[in-house]
Structure 1
Amino acid sequence: MPAAWTAGAVELILIRHGESQGNVAATDATVSGAEVIAVPARDADVELSSTGREQVTALGRALAAVPESRQPDVVISSPYMRAYQTAEIAVETAGWPVPVRSDERLRDRELGILDMLTAFGVETRLPQEAERRRWLGKFYYRPPGGESWADVALRLRSVIGELNALGSGHRVMLVCHDAVVMLFRYILEGMSERELLDVAASTPVLNASMTRYVRPEGVGPWTLESFNVADHLMEQGVEVTEHAGDADVHPR
């Protein structure tokens, strides 16, 4: 039986981090036609932007309205600064008495040789890699020194196995990254490569959005209750941002 189907947690909430300084720098670089993204720090240390902080504070206010009986008793974040800040600010604002733990398996995909390059920069500086990525598609393409989406899925499967070992009845919130949210969908819903890439190409995961799975009995398959919800931002007058990756994801 797949690990995702064994007895364990009854609710899983996936949060994408708020807008980061890296998101802003990447968008600015793409719009200006630059080859290199002027990121302010290494990927693991990039912090939230001012808009990102507003987003995750609004997220925390929305979470504060969750009845005590349905509040997560486990909160785990990617160790990357933008995600961990999101988790800490949201939990503190919500007033939840739960510590934030970190797990490196929830980190963003490692880009290796492509790190800090725009799509234009990859085409210009590494044309063979650009062609190899087009041929393999986003799911299986692994840049030198980096990871494919399939690699990320492998580490996430072990996370699911450990969440199941918590025992039935737990509600869990994971704070992570857009590709990680997509790959949890791939695993929990048993998607094919094409089904996953179709969703990835058409639906960017919004900053500070919520995706929710439920399994009331703690056994069997998960049910997707909601995906990529950012109503809490719009309702509080906070800017909604997507900062999506390349939509050209299918193999050719």
Structure 2
Amino acid sequence: MGPVVIMAVRHGQSQANLAHEEAGDRPLRYEPGDHEVTLTELGRAQAAALGRLLADMPAADAPELVWCSPYLRALDTWKTAQHVWGVDPLPVTVDERLRDQEAGAFAHYNLAAIMERFPEEMARREAEGAYAFRPPGGESLADVVVRLRDWLKDLDGHAGGRRVLIVAHDSVVLGLRHVIAGGPDEELAAVLAFAPVLNASVSVWRTGAGRFELDRFNDVAHLTSG
């Protein structure tokens, strides 16, 4: 028996998110690596709003276990949310398989800079499709799905009958949508229609009729309420 609820949250706005937003269409090289980037002031406010959402949930619906990406922006989102929620610390498992999609040679650049520096790779991306394309030294979304499928199998053995909260990244939430739906990987490209997954958004799956059913996806109502 696996978990009865999976709630997946993207981290709050990160320093890298802000740098990319401010650069707009201008080429950007952003030096800090994935393991170094944490939250902006807005990101911390978004994480606090997540904590208030959790505090307002009936006890019978609230998460019981937490799985988190190893990256600071995800860990700090959870720490802030838990502090605002005010509950006793929940069991937290940090799992490498919930890390963001690895960008390899593209890691420090925004799209405008990638197009300048790697025109041949961008042409290959166009030919292969965004879900299948693997940048040099990096991962495709299909690669993320492989590790998420492995993680979900392990979750069945560790969270039977429990409600689980995941704090991770946009690629992870998109990948989970595909994996939980159980469709063939030939249909993976269709999940890109649900991008972008917004900062601090909440997506929820509940068990029903012997399978998970999507309750809501990419929900940010808690960021504007109150």
TM-score after normalising by structure 1: 0.84
CA shift at 1:128, angstroms?
0.8
Query: Which residue of 214, 218, 222 maps to 1:224?
Result: 214
Could you tell me which residue of structure 2 aligns to residue 66 of structure 1? 57
Task: Give the Cα–Cα distance (whole angstroms) in 1 for the partners of residues 87 and 146 of structure 2.
Answer: 31
Matched, 1:49 2:40: yes
The within-5 A match list for 1:102-181 is: 102-166=94-158, 168-181=160-173
Structure 2 letter corresponding to 1:175:
V
Structure 2 letter corresponding to 1:231:
A
Conserved in 2, the CA contact under 8 Å of 1:139 and 1:193? no
Moved more, 225-234 or 193-202: 193-202
Counterpart of 1:60 in 2: which secondary structure? helix
Could you tell me which residue of structure 2 aligns to residue 209 of structure 1? 201
Conserved in 1, the CA contact under 8 Å of 2:67 and 2:167? yes
CA shift at 1:193, angstroms?
5.5
1:120–1:167 Cα change, 3 Å: closer
CA shift at 1:136, angstroms?
0.7
Matched, 1:15 2:6: no
Counterpart of 1:173 in 2: which secondary structure? strand
Structure 1 letter corresponding to 2:167:
V
Moved more, 116-125 or 180-189: 116-125
CA shift at 1:9, angstroms?
0.7
Could you tell me which residue of structure 2 aligns to residue 185 of structure 1? 177
Q: How many residues align?
A: 225
Residues 171-230 of structure 1: CA distance to partner in whole angstroms, max 9, x if unpaired? 10000001110000011112456754344245421110100000158xx32100010111
Uncovered stretches (5+) of structure 1, i.e. residues with no partner: 1-6, 237-252
Conserved in 1, the CA contact under 8 Å of 2:174 and 2:194? no
Task: Give the Cα–Cα distance (whole angstroms) in 2 for the partners of residues 59 and 208 of structure 1.
Answer: 7
1:149–1:116 Cα change, 3 Å: same
Residues 57-113 of structure 1: CA distance to partner in whole angstroms, max 9, x if unpaired? 011011101122222111011010000101111122112321333111100011001
Conserved in 2, the CA contact under 8 Å of 1:88 and 1:100? no
Counterpart of 2:3 in 1: which secondary structure? coil
Identity of aligned residues (%): 40
Matched, 1:77 2:80: no
Could you tell me which residue of structure 2 aligns to residue 247 of structure 1? none
The within-5 A match list for 1:32-47 is: 33-34=26-27, 36-39=28-31, 41-47=32-38
Counterpart of 1:165 in 2: which secondary structure? helix
Moved more, 52-61 or 87-96: 87-96
Uncovered stretches (5+) of structure 2, i.e. residues with no partner: none
Counterpart of 1:70 in 2: which secondary structure? coil
Counterpart of 2:138 in 1: which secondary structure? coil
Structure 2 letter corresponding to 1:27:
E
